[in-house]
Amino acid sequence: MNYRHGFHAGNAGDVLKHLALAFIIERLKAKPAPITVIDSHAGAGLYALDAEGGEWRDGIGRLLAHDVATWPAAARPYAETLGQDPMLYPGSPLVALRLLRDEDRLIACESEEEVAEDLRFAVAHDPRAAVHRRDGWSALRAFLPVKTGRSLVLIDPPFEAADEFSLLADHLAMAARRASTAIVIGWYPVKGRQAADRLHESLRQSGIPKVLAVEFLTQPDHDPARFAGSGLIVVRPPWQFDTAMAEDLPRLLDMMDRAGTGKVRVEWLTGETLED
């Protein structure tokens, strides 16, 4: 499976990932201490949708058919990051930078030279951002823990290799242990249940407390030949993140005309329940 950032920019997987990232950053900003965001597989930072794949039409394109004022509350921080031109879509580094404060920092890693250069250009005039051309998996060990003590880690691999689900499970656990207070987010595609269910079970057995799984599926997920949607693993999510996702993501599905074919799953793998 190859999940290239540019080709899939703005699709339903990006909607989930960037909505959650923006929501969590806003929650972290409620306290004055600086935040460091580490984006392990950052991509180019900014995408001209009319020059990329057409998947955005069934993602952010469907949402933008509705007035942003009608979007559910959990999506409002995400809406703030979209900018004036809807055809210039921000990747996760720019989603973060558009919400971070002057005292906060972004560490963005990208292994492909041309893509890393595009990212440097996209953040060239922002002193809060540091771009590193390096393997995202090794970057997690290099940069964690951070000096600020408040960190948000996004792991968003391209899923080009057969072992990337295993790598994701291992590195989620490693990042959570190296940075004992960090919020760690891992994104994954859902194509049938087998790989996603193995990932969930691995994390149930990891011993890491407070691990939440969120899935945003625009198609039925039983067919391994069909891309059904995507999911997030969130280690140590902020208070009420689970409730916000469970309440507001179904509303987004409905706005995207996917309520009949898709579904939302919000499940604690370790540590909590929606009623806590």
Catalytic residues, by residue number, are 156
Cα–Cα distance between 191 and 218 in angstroms, integer? 11
Give the whole-angstrom CA distance, residue 172 versus residue 165.
11
